[in-house]
A and B are shown apart, each in its own frame.
Chain A
Amino acid sequence: MNFEQLFQYVVSDTVGAGGSLAAFRPELALCATIIALLVAKVVLPGWKSSAYHVVLIGLGAACFFAFPWEWLQLRIPGASDYPTARAIFTGVLVADHFTVVLRGILLGFAVLFATFTQMTGVWDRDEQTDFFVLMLGSLLGMCLMISANHILIVMLGVEMASVPCYVMTGMKKDQPRASEAALKYAVFGAGAAGIMLFGLSLLAGALGSAHLPTMTARLVQIVHGGAATEQYAALILGGLMLTVGVGFKLSAVPFHFWAPDVFEGATAEVAAFISIASKAAALGLLVRLAAAFSMPSGMAPLPMDQIASFAAVGCLAGARDFIVTVISALAAVTCTFGNLAAYGQTNMKRLLAYSTIAHAGYMMMGVAAAAALVGRDVPGAKYAVAAVLIYIGIYLFMNLAAFAITAFLRNATGSEEIADYAGLGRRSPGLTVCMAIAMFSLVGLPPLAGFLGKLTVFLALVDARLWALLFIGVLNTLLSLFYYLRVVKVMVVSPEPLHREAPTIPLTSSVGFYCVLLTAPLVALFFLLHGMMEWAGAATMSLFN
């Protein structure tokens, strides 16, 4: 293949009929918005105040391109008419149902989030444009993470998502804690990224490729051919090092040390972004990696019939066991540690940081179940991933609600200490009810949507027969009750201090309305499990094929 042929190939692959760019339009919309913001900042200095509107337009365009309109016309069960998994950009990214749905969740979150920062007014006008640019950049990285099909994209996506977060954490210049948190986050992130890069290069070296499906196919061949011990050692080491990188993004214990400090140092808005979007993207990446290494995919340019037959006789069983063991262990430790550490917290953001850690644990349990099931029950594995997606979708609302109320209360009282919430139940009953709904949904009490997230994940664990993990998950639900309940207890039961009054925030204000907007779905979604299941089920159609 000479250069011209190669060039022609790349061109047609990218912009030709049904080319890669068509599937990449949402990301392009994000890029365009970023550029528009940056250019406008230079060209029209007086224009800054409408940065939010530009972001909304950009996100709206991205949502328009990302949203599976075709599916809506077909009703969800008919989503099989939608083109299934398709490698784009010569195979580095994969555009499939999973990408579409998870990207939809991320973009939808971004819209809510941009509105949230606009409402709290935490940044002054200058900062706000910068903040939006960083946020959109991070979002772009997250979109890459969830559609990664190549280890370069894994690395690129993780870094693109992380670096803007470091900056956002430290953006409040007048707060030393914020700078400290940003530095800690950056150092930790750099370390984790370095280790992950090392692990990825080990894997790529041992398997002779950087394309995930090809790597899996090679893995099957190597195992079938009887690999040397050193090869296994390199693979296991590579796998573990990769886990460090993903574990850092997930704030999985023991790679979580940055989380509480960053959450406390950063503003509640940034903490919400890290806690929700970053987590969702990291889970998407984890699902991608777990799926890639536990099942050979048809996308590898190798004789697949033979590889499929090798895989069928258990050549990937070792890899699956490894994935299940590592993710289960991390999930169990993360969940338990997060919940236990949250007990002693007096700062709301720190409490939510540990709560985030704990929830990452629950969600990872679903991924472990998927990896455990893929060998014997592919529909079961798909269901497990669907459970994780449902969890992410619900988690978005409950955690954003918790952070939003924290931020609004900070604006009203200047404090983020839980003890200072005393008396709110009397002064702002509506807001207290919203907070209570968010907290009890995080515990997982019916009839709130948080229960469904746990229910579906636990059901996947039953299916996968991971009893120990199920027991730990259930026990953790119990553990978590205490500290979530304490927040509500302080608001409702504790006496109001004499020296100051709790703020009055009626639900009819715009702030109150936003809180209702976030908490109403927590009640409504509980009755819409079937619809969520259809969406999540459609999202997993192209996985494990």
Chain B
Amino acid sequence: MFNLQNPEVLRTWMLSLIIFLPAVGALVLCVLPVRGDQCLKRFSLLITFVVFLLTVWAAIPAGGPANFEVGKAGMQCVVQHEWIPSFNIQYYLGLDGISLPLVLLTSFLSVLAMWASWGIDKNVRAYCAFFLLLETGMLGVFLALDFFLFYVFWEVMLLPMYFLIGVWGGPRREYAAIKFFLFTLAGSVLMLIAILVLFYNSDPHTFSITELARIGQMPDSPFSKNELLWGRSVSWWAFVLLFIGFAVKLPSVPIHTWLPDAHVEAPTPISMILAGVLLKMGGYGIIRICYPICPDAGYELAWWVCGLGTVSMVYGALAAMAQKDFKRLVAYSSVSHMGYVLLGIGVWSATAGTSYNTDYWTMGMSGAMFQMIAHGISSAGMFFLVGVVYDRVHHRDLDRFGGLFPKMPVYAGISMIIFFAALGLPGLCGFWGELFVVLGTWSFSKTLAVIAASVVILTAGYILWTIQRVYLGPEYKGPHAEALRPMSLREKYIAVPLVVMAILFGVYPKALFDYVAPSVEKTVVEMKNWTENVAPSLKKVGWDKRSAVPPSAVGNVENVVGQRCARPTLLATADEQEAVQP
């Protein structure tokens, strides 16, 4: 059964191994009979590294052990077992082009963050155990395809994160930790209601996300047909509740207020994980769950989603500009950058008039996916860099920095690249996500596209201003000037992979788009088909009544499509663009 020579066995166990290896590591860590803190940290680093290797191995295109096919849409490496038959709950895992990059990002950042934890010297054993448990939760969220399992992993993350902020954080750690916990739990209990409602309205009752999506997109879906409360359908309520749950994590204005506190108080490695991975779960949930399961609500609320995304972008950028604390600035920049993700996903659900053209949607959603990965790299990098300088001078006051360039040239150089990547400079990873989101938005609403594009100016404003205040200037006048020594080898080892990834994705975005595109395309086409076949019937009968008529009863959609489907020739599609760029 455990014959590793047999690729089938490995394929079956691969995903489970990826998820549970850190948890097993955490258990082993609790009883490991060693005294030295270094030993414990090394052991944890080893575990995270093995997990990283496993995920990379899984990502090797066809022929690799997991036999992941890059050009294939839909779930691969699926593991599906009955778990709780009385509720039809399954142990159901799978990988596709949307989850794989996020899984890779998670395992990659976990290694770096664990390595960045060398400075932790309080209760190292507990710290490492919580860290590994957190990694299990994060990987599980991206791999689970059963809603129950997803929810379990989603919650499993909360406790380690609470303690990691609450015990090892900064001066206001307890406040920040409980705020993080309460906000996320509030979101997740709302999500729980949605899960239960969807479970109850599906027939046969199921928690399987893929199955729920199939039911949600059916022409005569019970989700859009059944009224839940106040004249709104099951689908509408489920979408709203799920969306709030994910938007807390994302985070979107106005439920972002936990983020600046949590990020600022968390220790550096945990800030890296928070910004790099946890925020992505919100975006992932919306792409994977909200839209496929509740397309009609997404269609109806597209303006709200896009509006929230735009407001987050503008608000986050303006707030970042006003910060005096270096880490807080980076935290608000995350709010702003994740706004792009929301906008990119949101436009995807919208149709420009009645032209059922998937190109813009694909662009927006690919942009959102790209932005998530790019932000994972750049924000983790920024938090790490802030941590590096904080370790030396023990303050983060932007007004008391300046003149770091001559004292720490390598550090300043790395910082420039990472900050410019966050800014969205062409040639670095931040550029593609923003570009595609803005392009995708154009067909949905020119106003929003213009606003989104001009946020880049605000971003440039606060990033350049930060660089000026921190790195440039004649000399450093703040406290602990004597401690400003160049980066250590370990710090370089952590920063350099991030720089490499930022540049790699900047000049060769195809590396990522190749993985993402087929799955995104598939989701978008499904949504398009739904909008084309089902949405008009909903509209025709009256949005409030929710009594969908079969698609055959709908008028001749084809003609309309034929007239309006003229594709703009100036703007190539996502795929064509990426083919041109490298």
> Is A463 close to B, CB under 8 A?
yes
Given A529-B84, A530-B86, A533-B87: A458 in contact with B196 (beta carbons within 8 A): yes
Chain B residues close to A by CB (< 8 Å): 83-87, 89, 123, 126, 151-152, 155-156, 158-159, 162-163, 166-167, 174, 178, 181-182, 185-186, 189-190, 192-193, 196-197, 199-200, 228-229
What are 20 A-to-B residue pairs whose CB atoms are below 8 Å? A445-B155, A445-B159, A446-B155, A447-B156, A458-B192, A459-B196, A462-B199, A471-B193, A474-B190, A474-B193, A478-B182, A478-B185, A478-B189, A482-B178, A492-B166, A493-B174, A530-B84, A530-B86, A533-B86, A534-B86
Chain B proximity of A421: nearest CB distance (Å): 15
Chain A residues close to B by CB (< 8 Å): 426, 429, 440, 445-447, 451, 455, 458-459, 462-463, 467, 470-471, 474-475, 477-478, 481-482, 485, 489, 492-493, 529-530, 533-534, 537
Chain B proximity of A475: nearest CB distance (Å): 8
> Nearest 6 A-B pairs (CB), nearest first?
A533-B86, A446-B152, A530-B84, A474-B189, A529-B84, A462-B200
Q: Nearest CB to that of B228 among chain A residues?
A: A467
Are B193 and A493 in touch, CB under 8 angstroms?
no
Q: Give bound CA distance, A482 to B174, whole Å.
A: 12
Tell me which residues across on chain A come within 8 A of B152, comparing CB atoms.
446-447
Are A445 and B158 in touch, CB under 8 angstroms?
yes
Q: Nearest CB to that of A426 among chain B residues?
A: B123
Tell me which residues across on chain A come within 8 A of B229, comparing CB atoms.
467
Chain B proximity of A508: nearest CB distance (Å): 12
Chain A proximity of B138: nearest CB distance (Å): 15
Chain B proximity of A164: nearest CB distance (Å): 38
Q: Give bound CA distance, A426 to B122, whole Å.
A: 11
Given A447-B156, A530-B86, A533-B86: A477 in contact with B189 (beta carbons within 8 A): yes
Chain B proximity of A405: nearest CB distance (Å): 18
Q: Give bound CA distance, A87 to B182, whole Å.
A: 50
Are B156 and A462 in touch, CB under 8 angstroms?
no
Chain B proximity of A374: nearest CB distance (Å): 18
Partner of A489, one of B151, B174, B192, B200: B174
Q: What 18 additional pairs, Cβ within 8 angstroms, besides A462-B199, A481-B185?
A: A426-B123, A440-B159, A446-B155, A447-B152, A447-B156, A451-B155, A455-B192, A458-B192, A459-B199, A470-B193, A474-B190, A477-B185, A481-B182, A482-B178, A493-B166, A529-B86, A530-B83, A530-B87
Are B151 and A446 in touch, CB under 8 angstroms?
yes
SS class of chain B's interface: helix, strand, loop or mixed? helix
Total A-B pairs, Cβ < 8 A:
76
Q: Give bound CA distance, A482 to B182, whole Å.
A: 8
Tell me which residues across on chain B come within 8 A of A467, comparing CB atoms.
228-229
Are A492 and B181 in touch, CB under 8 angstroms?
no
Tell me which residues across on chain B come within 8 A of A429, comparing CB atoms.
126
Tell me which residues across on chain A come within 8 A of B85, comparing CB atoms.
530
Tell me which residues across on chain B come within 8 A of A459, comparing CB atoms.
196, 199-200
Q: Give bound CA distance, A440 to B152, whole Å.
A: 13
Tell me which residues across on chain B come within 8 A of A537, comparing CB atoms.
86
Q: Nearest CB to that of A476 among chain B residues?
A: B189
Are A492 and B189 in touch, CB under 8 angstroms?
no
Chain A proximity of B265: nearest CB distance (Å): 13
Tell me which residues across on chain B come within 8 A of A477, comparing CB atoms.
185, 189
Q: Give bound CA distance, A530 to B81, whole Å.
A: 14
Are B200 and A474 in touch, CB under 8 angstroms?
no
Tell me which residues across on chain A come within 8 A of B86, comparing CB atoms.
529-530, 533-534, 537
Are B181 and A485 in touch, CB under 8 angstroms?
yes
Q: Give bound CA distance, A534 to B87, whole Å.
A: 11
Q: Nearest CB to that of B162 among chain A residues?
A: A485
Q: Give bound CA distance, A530 to B84, whole Å.
A: 5
Q: Give bound CA distance, A533 to B86, whole Å.
A: 7
Partner of B192, one of A474, A482, A534: A474
Tell me which residues across on chain B come within 8 A of A447, comparing CB atoms.
152, 155-156
Chain B proximity of A409: nearest CB distance (Å): 20
Tell me which residues across on chain A come within 8 A of B126, comparing CB atoms.
429
Q: Give bound CA distance, A85 to B438, whole Å.
A: 68
Are B196 and A446 in touch, CB under 8 angstroms?
no
Are A478 and B84 in touch, CB under 8 angstroms?
no
Tell me which residues across on chain A come within 8 A of B189, comparing CB atoms.
474-475, 477-478
Are A478 and B196 in touch, CB under 8 angstroms?
no
Are B156 and A529 in touch, CB under 8 angstroms?
no
Tell me which residues across on chain B come within 8 A of A492, comparing CB atoms.
163, 166-167
Q: Give bound CA distance, A459 to B88, whole Å.
A: 13
Are B166 and A489 in touch, CB under 8 angstroms?
yes
Tell me which residues across on chain B come within 8 A of A530, comparing CB atoms.
83-87
Q: Give bound CA distance, A492 to B178, whole Å.
A: 14
Chain A proximity of B267: nearest CB distance (Å): 14
Tell me which residues across on chain B come within 8 A of A493, comparing CB atoms.
163, 166-167, 174
Tell me which residues across on chain B come within 8 A of A529, comparing CB atoms.
84, 86-87, 89
Q: Give bound CA distance, A372 to B149, whole Å.
A: 30
Q: Nearest CB to that of B89 among chain A residues?
A: A529
Are B181 and A481 in touch, CB under 8 angstroms?
yes
Are B84 and A485 in touch, CB under 8 angstroms?
no
Tell me which residues across on chain B come within 8 A of A462, comparing CB atoms.
193, 196-197, 199-200
Of listed B158, B162, B192, residue having the most chain A CB within 10 A = B192
Tell me which residues across on chain B come within 8 A of A534, comparing CB atoms.
86
Q: Nearest CB to that of B200 among chain A residues?
A: A462
Of listed A426, A446, A477, A537, residue having the most chain B CB within 10 A = A446
Q: Give bound CA distance, A529 to B207, whole Å.
A: 15
Q: Nearest CB to that of A475 among chain B residues?
A: B189
Q: Give bound CA distance, A475 to B187, whole Å.
A: 11
Q: Nearest CB to that of A529 among chain B residues?
A: B84
Q: Give bound CA distance, A458 to B85, whole Å.
A: 18
Chain A proximity of B23: nearest CB distance (Å): 10
Chain B proximity of A467: nearest CB distance (Å): 6
Q: Give bound CA distance, A65 to B83, whole Å.
A: 33
Tell me which residues across on chain A come within 8 A of B192, comparing CB atoms.
455, 458, 474
Q: Give bound CA distance, A447 to B189, whole Å.
A: 15
Chain A proximity of B458: nearest CB distance (Å): 35
Q: Nearest CB to that of A383 among chain B residues?
A: B86
Given A445-B155, A447-B156, A530-B86: A463 in contact with B193 (beta carbons within 8 A): no
Chain B proximity of A538: nearest CB distance (Å): 12
Q: Nearest CB to that of A459 among chain B residues?
A: B196
Tell me which residues across on chain A come within 8 A of B174, comparing CB atoms.
489, 493
Of listed B86, B126, B151, B159, residue having the most chain A CB within 10 A = B86
Q: Give bound CA distance, A446 to B148, whole Å.
A: 10
Tell me which residues across on chain A come within 8 A of B199, comparing CB atoms.
459, 462
Q: Give bound CA distance, A482 to B186, whole Å.
A: 12
Q: Give bound CA distance, A307 to B241, whole Å.
A: 44
Tell me which residues across on chain A come within 8 A of B155, comparing CB atoms.
445-447, 451
Q: Give bound CA distance, A492 to B165, whole Å.
A: 12
Chain B proximity of A471: nearest CB distance (Å): 7
Of listed B123, B155, B181, residue having the most chain A CB within 10 A = B155
Chain B proximity of A81: nearest CB distance (Å): 20
Chain A proximity of B151: nearest CB distance (Å): 7
